[in-house]
Structure 1
Amino acid sequence: MNVLQAIRYTPGDSASLQILDQLQLPHRSEYEDIPSATEGWAAIKEMKTRGAPAIAIVAALSLAVELAHNDNIKSADASKTKEHIQARLKYLVTSRPTAVNLEDAARKLSALVEAEATKENATGLSVRQTYIKASEQMLVDDVKDNEAIGRNGAEWILKHVSRANKRGANVITHCNTGSLATAGYGTALGVIRALQASNKLSHAYCTETRPYNQGSRLTAYELAHDKIPSTLITDSMAAALMNLNLNDEDKAIDAIVVGADRVTANGDTANKIGTYSLVPIYTYANLYRAVLAKRHGAKFLVAAPRTSIDLTRASGKDITIEHRAPDEVILVKGPVFDGTNVQDEAVTVSTAPRGINVWNPAFDVTPAELIDGIVTEAGVVEKDESGNFPLSTFFGN
């Protein structure tokens, strides 16, 4: 399958990194050079590149390119080189605090250069090469891991929803978790791609994902690019869609598949704001029950690499939720549409009065009790008899 390439990296002495500027999508495909960690930080912060796996890779490779071209670092000894790399990694982590993948990658890369720098024969060159080799391997490993996530998730859905195995799965996804959010193929969108590749996908529905519209701008772009049968819906239409098709055997929703920027030890997951609303709850005498995914017989599946699992945080209460600028909610930017064609000129439109207070968290937390399975490249984990996800089994302890 010819999937989109959001990250272009060329290794060697003339190393270069380009990213597909996702702020220009879906109407314009432009690649932007990332010559250093400074530009990498800005691209991540400004969401020119986004998605938990992708930002970790872009951050790591932006520093690799910097190391390949910075003459001051090239002349530094092992200790100075190590200090520079570790300081730049700490800086890069500040670009997006919620996604654990970036933090995890920085910690592992920092440990690698620390170990290399302490060797008796270590040089600045050897420390740089250790870092660059490890960051380049991240790009290769991510695609392989995503393909495994896709296979594991697709097999799990077909195993647990018999009607999907018979006529193909109907799946809802939220935000963007495809090639634009990873090194390639995708996590939750990778599950959809795997179903499509095995002729076991009936239809995919993607939510627009307000306020940044990653679903309508990016996921819809990928689905159309890959010619996957799909429909775009607004965030608030998911419950109505599931209810409308509840008694229609052919159209009934079989699975909700989303990504995760962080999965805590108990299985709570932080994902793009609006994920939690896919399993809405109602209140009656202070008792809560899931009434959407549970009632309608669909499965709620979280697809993420093992690097998204953070066993150091006990639950979703321990996750730092990033809050973003009010303008993302009250301003919309896009090209002019003349009624027939999309023009090149981009305009910014205000959709709310100035002076109104805005609450704009980038993520919400879905409780583990509402999740049926967490799929990684190593397999799918389900709740044990006590109702907990044994996530530590993915790490051999």
Structure 2
Amino acid sequence: MFSTKSSGRYVTLPLGQNYRTAPDGICKMSLEAIRWKDNKLEILDQLLLPASTEFMHVKNVEDGWQVINKMQVRGAPAIAIVGCLSLAAELVNSSYSTCSDLMKAVTEKLQYLVTARPTAVNMRKATDDMITFMSQCHGKGMSTEELKSSIISRCENMLAIDVDTNKKIGDFGAQSILANSDAKQVNVITHCNTGSLATAGYGTALGVIRSLHAQGKLGHAYCTETRPYNQGARLTAFELVYESMPSTLICDNMAASLMKSKEIHAVVVGADRVTCNGDTANKIGTYQATVVAKYHGVPFYVCAPITSIDLCLPSGESIPIEERPHKEMTHVAGVRIAAPGISCWNPAFDVTPAELITGGIVTELGVFKPSEMYEKIKGEAS
């Protein structure tokens, strides 16, 4: 049983609103990490999972920047959605004299949100999209209030679009894994968290696992702990247990031994950015998993919406890699575990070369080889 409680800016809320029947017959609610209702935004504080489920009010852009930067909300799609909805929440109670003033303020606020987590491209692309959208609306002669309402609606629509996108990714990925295996049920490994807690719902790489499970084709899912922030142990494991999927947690350094000792049919991960040549940036530890998968002949899949594809960068060498505070490595739950005085290197992401992505890049448009991705989707992703 997971607790919910109220304190300060936190409010007591159920984990979700949509009830469903789980395989064990127990009526459960679908996970929600982002809640938008009556022009108010609340996010599930993921720093507290799995011990407790507490929702935070996000009242404005500054709140949005803080919860993204502190990783109370994380995952490339969720970062963009929460960032834009924090803007919408602020706009509801704001007024501007002219459309030009409104557009200038929105542009500045969105550009500020981009700085919260620089590696994921989704927030930047959402910013570029909104700037283009505002210009188009302004050209139609909208009033300031009409333009403000249109901006808020566009932010709101990101929730439904993301869930639909994720379900398509899940189905395409599952179909590809099954098509390349003779097994009646497949065993997969995933790294970090790419599920409902990292998106508006369902998930990308974890969405593939959900799709396999829904079809009765999932033998077993293995999730890594994902040091140093333990997103796999805290969040992915939470979702797998919540959805009653057959699953096991492993340490990051166990992947090679697992692939050697058990039959693994695929590795599926997410991506915070994909470049023109198919290189991908994802949570630190992904690169070593691809090397191990290549050695063992296990197909490696990267799952990402086209909003995560950055056609402005030629290769992964150009991706900015965020470095996180040393305390994330030296402390666990506030307790120091590392020797005092030791220096630390804590990149949040690493880059996987395209040639190691042997299964393909899974998008809402289909599964593509890294070498063919640019030509297949350049019109959609630009």
Verify same fold: TM over 0.5. yes
SS of the equivalent of 2:314 reads coil
Deviation at residue 75 of structure 1 after TM alignment? 4.1
Residue matched to 1:309 = 309
The corresponding residue for 1:170 is 187
Is residue 4 of structure 1 aligned with residue 21 of structure 2? no
RMSD: 1.2
Are 1:271 and 2:293 an aligned pair? no
The answer to whether the Cα contact below 8 Å between 1:78 and 1:126 also exists between their aligned partners in 2 is: no
Q: Is the 8 A contact 2:311 2:378 kept in 1?
A: no
| Counterpart check, 1:153 vs 2:173 | yes
Per-residue deviation, 1:10 = 1.1
Residues in 1 aligned to 2:290 and 2:269: alpha-carbon distance in whole angstroms: 12
Q: 1:362 aligns with which of 348, 366, 378?
A: 348
Query: How far apart are 1:355 and its partner, in Å?
Result: 2.1
Matches within 5 A, 1:212-223: 212-223=229-240
Alignment of 1:231-380 (within 5 A): 231-245=248-262, 252-280=263-291, 292-333=292-333, 348-372=334-358, 373-380=360-367
Q: Distance in 1 between matches of 2:92 and 2:40?
A: 9
1:107-122 residue pairs with structure 2 within 5 A? 107-119=128-140, 121-122=141-142
Q: 1:294 is paired with a residue of what secondary structure?
A: helix
Counterparts of 1:391 and 1:309, CA distance in 2: 9
Work out which of the residue numbers 204, 210, 219 in structure 1 matches 2:227: 210
The residue number in structure 2 matching 1:194 is 211
Say if 1:381 and 1:391, in contact at 8 Å, map to a contact too: no
Which secondary structure does the structure 1 equivalent of 2:372 belong to?
A: coil
Give the corresponding residue for 1:93: 114
User: Does the 8 Å contact 1:211/1:328 carry over to 2?
Assistant: yes
Q: Partners in 1 of 2:76 and 2:68 — Cα distance? A: 10
- Which residue of the partner structure matches residue 283 of structure 1? none
Deviations 1:12-54 (A, max 9, x none): xxx1000000000000000000010110000000000000000
Q: What is the letter of the counterpart of residue 206 of structure 1? A: C
The amino acid of 2:373's aligned partner reads: P
Residue of structure 1 equivalent to 2:373: 390
Q: Which amino acid aligns with 2:102?
A: T
Give 5+ residue unaligned stretches, structure 2. 1-19, 21-28
Aligned-residue offset at 1:354: 2.5
Are residue 126 (structure 1) and residue 146 (structure 2) matched?
Answer: yes
Query: Is this contact kept in 1: 2:303–2:362, CA < 8 A?
Result: yes
- Please, what TM-score do these two structures have when normalized by structure 1? 0.87
Q: CA deviation at 1:129?
A: 1.4
Contact 1:256-1:300 within 8 A present in 2 as well: yes
Percent of pairs with identical residues: 53
Per mean C-alpha deviation after superposition, the further-off stretch among 194-203 and 2-11 is: 2-11
Distance 1:389 1:296 in 2: 24
- 8 Å CA contact retained: 1:169, 1:202: yes
Contact map agreement 2:286 2:350 (CA 8 A) in 1? yes
What is aligned with 2:43?
19
The correspondence of residues 67-106 of structure 1 with structure 2, limited to 5 A, is: 67-70=91-94, 74-106=95-127
CA distance in 1, matches of 2:372, 2:76: 21
Cα distance in 2 for residues equivalent to 1:396 and 1:17: 32
Q: In the TM superposition, what whole-angstrom CA distance separates every residue of 1:223-267 from its partner, at most 9, and x where no partner exists?
A: 00000000000000000111112xxxxxx0000000000000000
Aligned partners of 1:222, 1:152: CA distance in 2, in Å? 21
Partner amino acid, structure 2, of 1:225: Y
Distance 1:81 1:396, change over 3 A: closer
Q: Judge conservation of contact 1:89–1:110 (CA < 8 Å) in 2.
A: no
Query: Which amino acid letter does the alignment assign opposite residue 326 of structure 2?
Result: P
Does the 8 Å contact 1:82/1:117 carry over to 2? no
Task: Work out which of the two has the higher radius of gyration on C-alpha atoms and give 1 or 2.
Answer: 1
- Aligned pair count reads 352
Q: What's the offset of the Cα at 1:114? A: 2.4
Contact 2:271 2:302 (8 Å CA) reproduced: yes
CA contact (8 A) 1:8 1:17 kept: yes
Question: What is the DSSP-based 3-state SS (H/G/I as helix, E as strand, rest coil) of the residue aligned with 1:76?
Answer: coil
Measured after TM superposition, the shift of residue 308 of structure 1 is 0.6
The residue aligned with 1:337 is: none
1:76 CA displacement: 2.2
- TM-superposed CA distance for 1:396, in Å, is 3.7
Task: For residues 294-316 of structure 1, give each alpha carbon's deviation from its aligned partner in whole angstroms, at most 9, with x where no partner exists.
Answer: 34332100001011111110000
What's the counterpart of residue 55 of structure 1? 79
TM-score (ref. length: structure 2): 0.90
Partner of 1:343: none
Structure 2 equivalent of residue 226 of structure 1 = 243
Is the 2:223–2:248 Cα contact (8 Å) retained in structure 1? Answer: yes
The 3-state SS of whatever aligns with 2:253 is helix
SS in 1 for 2:172: helix
The SS at the match of 1:390 is helix
* Cα shift at 1:77: 1.4
Shift of the alpha carbon at 1:87?
0.7
Instruction: Name which of 165, 177, 180 aligns with 2:197.
Output: 180
